[in-house]
Amino acid sequence: MSEAVQPLGGSAFDGLVHLSEAPLQGMITLRADLSDAAVKKAIKAATGQTMPDIRGASVQEGQGVLWMSPDEAMLLVPYAEVDAALAKLTKSLGKVHALAVNVSDARAMFSLRGPAAREVIAKLAPVDMAPGAFEPGMVRRTRFAQVAGAFWMEDQETIHVVCFRSVARYMFDLLSVASDPASAVDFF
Amino acid sequence: MLILHCPYCGIDAEETELHAGGEAHLTRFGPGSSDDDFEGYLFMRENPRGVHFERWRHANGCGKWFHAARCTNTLEVFGTYSAQTTEPPEEIRKILAKKRPGWTWRDLK
């Protein structure tokens, strides 16, 4: 088994926010009827978190569920436990019509920490980042400049961004430029 | 900037999150259909001045296809609705009847 590494080897940047590549994160994408009680139960068993409502995120300490679309959820589990979690999920789904795949190594994840985190995201994505409009407990799939990505807030000053691993360098550079200390807008 | 409400994820998505999918409510003619039907399906499109129905995809978002009713003249958006339909739903027709009395589109009115 090859050694798993972060896409950019753990890059970090300090500017308006502290931008860092998140440690390896286990991610399982699940396609199923999310209103099905059996699916909800299987998600709860695999992640320890309950399936959130539309555009919701329930994540605690690297474990949780993100609402991705009406029939898709992203399950977050510790990287080392992803195979076990996937096996458990597949087993508890049983005969339910569903598809679950381990996509941990196909994604890159970044964390922005600091009071300007909202501002950095607002510069790049067409999302209303005003306090009250976007809050912890919500997830948003959108685009960051030219690439697709998703993000959710852990608290008012911490935002996690997920994108495809193939565009990790682009995303990191983009977030770095947007958090350049000379580019502060102080809008929020 | 065009802003459409995605009926699947409830987000008022702006143009750059969306991808245009051409005319709505086409009937697909495949193998075994007549040449005229197939030609119509492939090439014949409405080009109205006024009410128009389009397909859009929330590409940089939930990824779902949906329908939009718009005005080609004023760019007004009358509403968006689910993709799981073969014709505009009643609530969209009500809005159109109010805002564009006497509207026609293909054989719809």
Give whole-number Cα distances, A2 to A5, A79, A105, B69, in Å. Answer: 9, 14, 12, 52
The answer to whether B82 faces chain A, any CB pair under 8 Å, is: no
- Residue A138, number of CB atoms within 10 A of its CB: 17
Contacts 24+ apart (CB under 8 A), A85-92: A85/A26, A85/A28, A85/A46, A85/A47, A86/A28, A86/A46, A88/A45, A88/A46, A89/A28, A89/A30, A89/A42, A89/A43, A89/A45, A89/A46, A92/A41, A92/A42, A92/A45, A92/A46
Q: Which pLDDT does position B45 carry in this prediction? A: 94
Q: Is residue B104 part of a domain?
A: no
Going by pLDDT thresholds of 50, 70 and 90, the confidence category of residue A188 is confident
Distance CA A80, CA A86 (A): 11
Asked whether the predicted pLDDT for residue A123 surpasses 80, the reply is yes
Q: Which pLDDT does position A109 carry in this prediction? A: 96
| Amino acid (1-letter code) at residue A138 | M
Q: Which pLDDT does position B107 carry in this prediction? A: 83
Q: Is residue B12 part of a domain?
A: yes
ipTM: 0.86
Place of tokens 């000379």: A182
**What is the count of structural domains for chain B?**
1
In A114-175, DSSP assigns E strands to: 139-144, 147-155, 158-164
For chain A, which residues lie within 8 Å of any Cβ of chain B, measuring from their own Cβ?
A: 54-55, 68-70, 72, 126, 140-143, 148
CATH value at residue B87: 3.30.2270.10
* Chain B residues closer than 8 Å to A142 by CB: 17, 60-61
CB contacts < 8 A, A to B, total: 35
CA distance B83 to chain A (A): 13
- What is the mean predicted confidence (pLDDT) over A112-132? 95
- What is the mean predicted confidence (pLDDT) over A31-41? 93
Q: Which pLDDT does position A62 carry in this prediction? A: 84
Cross-chain Cβ contact B17/A70 below 8 Å: no
Mean pLDDT of chain B: 94
Asked whether the predicted pLDDT for residue B29 surpasses 90, the reply is yes
Q: Is residue B65 part of a domain?
A: yes
| Neighbouring residues of A40: CB distance < 8 A, sequence distance ≥ 6 | A34, A50, A51
Interface test with A, best of B17, B18, B64, B82 (most A CBs within 10 A): B17
Q: Which pLDDT does position A1 carry in this prediction? A: 65
Structure tokens at A40: 């909800």
Q: Which pLDDT does position A61 carry in this prediction? A: 85
pLDDT in tens, A54-103: 999 999 988 999 999 999 999 999 999 999 999 999 999 989 999 999 99
Q: Is residue B56 part of a domain?
A: yes
* Chain B residues closer than 8 Å to A69 by CB: 8-9, 62-64
Q: Is residue B109 part of a domain?
A: no
CATH architecture for the domain at A12-182:
2-Layer Sandwich (3.30)
* Chain A residues closer than 8 Å to B60 by CB: 141-143, 148
Helix (H, G, I), strand (E, B) or coil at A91: helix
CA atoms within 13 Å, Cβ hemisphere of A21: 19
- What is the mean predicted confidence (pLDDT) over A28-45? 94
pLDDT in tens, A129-168: 999 999 999 999 999 999 999 999 999 999 999 999 999 9
Q: Is residue B50 part of a domain?
A: yes
Q: Is residue B107 part of a domain?
A: no
Residue of A70, A126, A143 lying closest to B62 (CB–CB): A70
Q: Is residue B8 part of a domain?
A: yes
* Domain boundaries, position B73: 3-99
Structure tokens at A107: 């994604």
CA-nearest residue to A140 within chain B is B61
pLDDT in tens, B34-91: 999 999 999 999 999 999 999 999 999 999 999 999 999 999 999 999 999 999 999 9
Distance CA A188, CA B47 (A): 44
Cross-chain Cβ contact A126/B17 below 8 Å: yes
The answer to whether B77 faces chain A, any CB pair under 8 Å, is: no
